Structure 1
Amino acid sequence: MSPDLWSFALAVYARPDVEAACLRLQSAGANVCLMLCGLWLEQRDATCDDRRVHQLRQITDPWDRDVVQPLRALRLQWKEAADTDPLLKGMREQIKGMELEAERALLSRLEGMAQGWARNSKESSDWLEALAGEAANLNRDALRVLRVAAAGA
């Protein structure tokens, strides 16, 4: 298991079927960075409780809304036009890089919050369901794919 969240996230995301599972969860309203953090916390056997879930969401929600989502929206908006405009294609790649850096910064913030959380004794460490919210009910298969990938990362 990777000791830091960023390395762990990269290793898991590179596994087969993970990107598609993450995109399904994202389209259902889940935050992919939170899902990857949840997997990392499960691998670390960190105790999951409502207070900790709330703390992670307090970090994630404004950063996602104010930083990641606007970059993603611009990147997607330029997708079609970038196919025929080399200059715009290069600029779109820069936006994509900024979006990735924004996600990396978010993962770093999440790791900073959770780094010292105690390991599980007998309490729940079911982070994915807690962090996915309603998206978990619609995407049990996607959660399974993520857990299998994390076990092999």
Structure 2
Amino acid sequence: MSPFPESLWDFSLSIYAEPEMEALCLHLQDRRGINVNLLLWALWLDARSRPFQLALWQQGVNRSQRAERWRVGPLRRVRRFLPKRTPWQGIRSMVKTWELQSEQRQLQDLQKISDGLSGGSDVRSADDGYLIQLLGSSEPEYHQLMQILEHWSNGRKHRP
């Protein structure tokens, strides 16, 4: 049995809890403009050894860009704008909940896309993974993500 959850949402929650993962994701999001949900989807697909399909990737990128533009991004901007003090804490917390729900929906949409496409003529070699579409394999963040994924995977294999 594979140590990887079937659900992209469950995988995302689990790997995001790994040490250094949250900080790395926020760094990539804020400093490099990388969509964290696309990054998590790419990791999930690569971890499941899903062969790279250009049509699948393009569909996921397009869907994620729309979600980021119309749902997730605006909520994130509002949350970050709101002060972290009374009386704003309750509103900020509510916006954060909506933001998380929007991210969950985005990940569910990405999983539906990947579940809906089977192998096709645009399947590429194993060297063309999904994560490489976001980060080059020579970048330090790529290697850091691979170490986190390996640590996560090893921890899952040793659980009863």
Paired position in structure 1 for 2:131 = 128
For structure 1, the 5+ residue unaligned runs are: none
How big is each residue's C-alpha offset from its partner over 1:110-136, in whole Å with a ceiling of 9 and x where there is no partner?
Answer: 0000025558x9832611111x157x8
The change in CA–CA distance for 1:122 and 1:99 in structure 2 (over 3 A counts) is closer
The change in CA–CA distance for 1:61 and 1:133 in structure 2 (over 3 A counts) is farther
- How much has 1:100 moved relative to structure 2? 0.3
Alignment identity in percent?
27
**C-alpha contact (below 8 Å) 1:24/1:142 kept by paired residues:** no
- How much has 1:147 moved relative to structure 2? 2.9
Q: Aligned letter for 1:34?
A: L
Q: TM-score, normalised by structure 2?
A: 0.80
Q: Aligned letter for 1:94?
A: M
Structure showing greater relative contact order (alpha-carbon pairs closer than 8 Å, 6 or more residues apart): 1
Paired position in structure 2 for 1:26 = 29
RMSD, aligned α-carbons? 2.5
Distance 1:123 1:145 in 2: 22
Paired position in structure 1 for 2:90 = 90
Paired position in structure 2 for 1:143 = 145
For structure 2, the 5+ residue unaligned runs are: none
- How much has 1:141 moved relative to structure 2? 4.1
Residue 102 of structure 2 is aligned to residue 99 of structure 1: no
* 1:27-66 equivalences in 2 (<5 Å): 27=30, 28-66=32-70
Distance 1:145 1:70 in 2: 32
Distance 2:116 2:89 in 1: 42
Distance 2:48 2:117 in 1: 9
Q: TM-score, normalised by structure 1?
A: 0.83
